[in-house]
Amino acid sequence: MLWAQPPASEAPPPPPPAAGAPPQRRIPEPKNLQVLKVQPQELIGVMRNWSASLGVQCNYCHVQGNFASDDKPTKLLARKMYTMVTDVNTHYAEAKVNIGCYTCHRGKTEPEVNPPAPPAGEGQRPAAAPPPPPPPPQ
Ligand code: HEC
Ligand code: HEC
């Protein structure tokens, strides 16, 4: 059976960590995840994505030194935002791209709702035609 996977016992062992690779930083087990369904080692990547999407530092949502705390209103709102994003992506599962925080926020805490105003002059009616010349003298 050419298409069969080799039995697990024949699978090669995972490669040893590359020489000089930085040691994996230990991430403390999260204590207060209510909406994110991620492995602890994936959490920081999500958090960096959120920070960059809003153009903020971690302490925009987190109390310094206590990531599990829910004391900052921005953290509570971020949870709701995440739920909204997941709902949209689930509801429009056939869409080619998923939306994320950056889709709206574009590096700002307050997303822009309207497109920028067109440059001055553009989109206006052309200047009124000049009045017709006076009729030639009779
Ligand atoms: C836009 C707001 C926001 C930003 C910015 C943010 N976080 Fe978070 N973070 C959250 C929310 C919301 C949760 C809880 C998610 C949940 O309930 O599933 C969380 C959870 C965590 C947790 C788990 C805490 C626990 O014990 O439950 C850690 C650790 C964490 N964030 C680290 C970071 C780091 C590090 C940064 C900066 C790189 C960062 N966060 C930036 C909103 C944010
Ligand atoms: C569909 C567009 C949209 C998406 C996607 C979105 N947001 Fe928002 N977000 C908004 C709007 C609109 C506001 C309100 C801004 C205001 O009025 O201050 C906002 C506000 C916020 C605020 C509060 C900002 C403040 O200073 O009060 C946080 C925090 C936030 N969003 C986090 C997130 C995170 C985290 C994600 C991704 C999980 C996300 N948002 C995805 C539209 C979006």
Q: Encode the chain (138 residues) as per-residue pLDDT tens digits.
A: 344 444 444 455 555 555 555 555 666 789 999 999 999 999 999 999 999 999 999 999 999 999 999 999 999 999 999 999 999 999 999 999 999 999 999 999 999 999 999 988 766 666 667 777 777 776
Of the candidates 125, 124, 126, 106, the one whose C-alpha atom is nearest the C-alpha of residue 115 is: 106
pLDDT at 1: 37
For residue 94, being part of any structural domain is answered with yes
* CATH classification of the domain holding 90: 1.10.468.10
For residue 117, being part of any structural domain is answered with no
For residue 97, being part of any structural domain is answered with yes
pLDDT at 73: 98
How many whole angstroms from 14 Cα to the centroid of ligand 1?
A: 31
pLDDT at 24: 58
For residue 71, being part of any structural domain is answered with yes
For residue 89, being part of any structural domain is answered with yes
What does the CA dihedral 70, 82, 29, 45 come to, rounded to 10 degrees? -120
Distance, CA of 95 to CA of 71 (rounded, Å): 36
The residues that bridge with 66 in the sheet, in sequence order, are: 63
Distance, CA of 74 to CA of 55 (rounded, Å): 14
The residue count of the chain comes to 138
For residue 98, being part of any structural domain is answered with yes
Distance, CA of 112 to CA of 98 (rounded, Å): 19
**Domain containing 48: what range?**
42-110
pLDDT at 17: 55
For residue 5, being part of any structural domain is answered with no
Closest ligand 1 atom to Cα of 60: 5
Count of structural domains within the chain: 1
For residue 18, being part of any structural domain is answered with no
How many whole angstroms from 70 Cα to the centroid of ligand 2?
A: 17
| Residues 29-69: tens digit of each pLDDT | 899 999 999 999 999 999 999 999 999 999 999 999 999 99
Q: Which residues line ligand 2 (CB under 6 A)?
A: 50, 54, 74, 77-78, 81-82, 85, 99, 101, 103-105, 109-111
How many whole angstroms from 108 Cα to the centroid of ligand 2?
A: 9
